[in-house]
Amino acid sequence: SAVISQKPSRDICQRGTSLTIQCQVDSQVTMMFWYRQQPGQSLTLIATANQGSEATYESGFVIDKFPISRPNLTFSTLTVSNMSPEDSSIYLCSGQGSGTGFYNEQFFGPGTRLTVL
Amino acid sequence: QKEVEQDPGPLSVPEGAIVSLNCTYSNSAFQYFMWYRQYSRKGPELLMYTYSSGNKEDGRFTAQVDKSSKYISLFIRDSQPSDSATYLCAMTGGGSNYKLTFGKGTLLTVNP
């Protein structure tokens, strides 16, 4: 199974600023995703990070607010731009298709806990 | 109606109890059904998965899928305090329909 790390693990930010979250996988994966997890809510998919091309965003999420990069098969970043208190949440990175085991399994990072003041 | 419904609980049981966790869904295209376990301040990890209908057993855990009723369950036998976590159901159509749709998660506490 793939092991995923995220940096930072948590941060407190001022409104109007931006934060970039890094996601590193210890092996190549076919697909990488970014989720938001708010208290009492489902994991909500923000976007699929595509290697070498623009990310595919879900309804309600836009590139200007959540720019995503994926330069290779093991690394991705998510930026939360022009933050407001409503962006306070846990942001999770996941990978799928590591070449072993159940293909549809997604491996998750530990999450980044973001608080916006 | 949400695609996946899951009672968020919380659910509190004594050690040794049998726990039943459930989800209902509306999308008949779902083929793979998963249960993830998420400990506090950790990311979710896959516990079990089932393809189509039927039962699957792994130690103290049993996953059941009833596609005719669009209902899935996870049973935990002889529950232990270490089982205390949030359990999320997730589903996908598989293949090119690769995205997972998650339930809200059920917070389970097993008391010693």
Question: What single-letter amino acid sits at B34?
Answer: M
Distance from chain centroid for Cα A87: 13
Assess B34–A contact: CB distance below 8 Å, yes or no. Answer: yes
Give me chain B's average pLDDT, please.
92
Q: Do B103 and A42 count as a contact with CB atoms less than 8 A apart?
A: yes
Q: What tens digit of pLDDT does each residue of A27-52 get?
A: 988 889 999 999 878 899 999 998 88
Q: What tens digit of pLDDT does each residue of B21-59 get?
A: 999 999 998 999 999 999 998 999 999 999 888 899 999
* Cβ B59 vs Cβ B76: under 8 Å: no
Residues of A in contact with B34 (CB under 8 A): 104-105
Residue A1 has pLDDT above 90, yes or no: no
Q: How far apart are CA B55 and CA B65, in angstroms?
A: 6
Look-up: residue for tokens 């608080």? A115
* Cβ B64 vs Cβ B72: under 8 Å: yes
Best of A91, A104, A107 to substitute, by most chain B Cβ atoms within 10 angstroms, is: A104
Q: Do A108 and B44 count as a contact with CB atoms less than 8 A apart?
A: yes
Residue B97 has pLDDT above 80, yes or no: no
Mean pLDDT along residues A3-12: 96
Residues of B in contact with A42 (CB under 8 A): 4, 88, 101-105
Question: Which residue in A has a C-alpha nearest to residue B97's C-alpha?
Answer: A104
Residue B2 has pLDDT above 80, yes or no: no
Q: Do A92 and B43 count as a contact with CB atoms less than 8 A apart?
A: yes
Q: Do B46 and A109 count as a contact with CB atoms less than 8 A apart?
A: no
* Cβ A21 vs Cβ A76: under 8 Å: no
Q: Per-residue confidence at A62, pLDDT binned at 50, 70, 90?
A: very high
Q: How far apart are CA A54 and CA B67, in angstroms?
A: 36
pLDDT the model gives residue B6: 94
Q: Is B96 exposed, middle or buried (0-12, 13-18, 19+ CB in 10 A)?
A: exposed
Q: Do A31 and B104 count as a contact with CB atoms less than 8 A apart?
A: no
Q: How far apart are CA A6 and CA A20, in angstroms?
A: 11
Q: Pairing state of beta strands A10-13 and A68-72?
A: unpaired
Nearest to B110 by CA among B11, B6, B3: B11
Per the structure block, which two tokens stand in for A19?
A: 């934060």
pLDDT the model gives residue A104: 74
Determine what percent of chain A is predicted with pLDDT higher than 90.
76
Mean pLDDT along residues B68-87: 96
Q: How far apart are CA A36 and CA A69, in angstroms?
A: 17
Q: What tens digit of pLDDT does each residue of A84-106 get?
A: 999 999 999 999 876 666 777 88
User: Which of A48, A104, A111 is the closest to B94 by Cβ?
Assistant: A104
A-B CB pairs within 8 A amount to 50
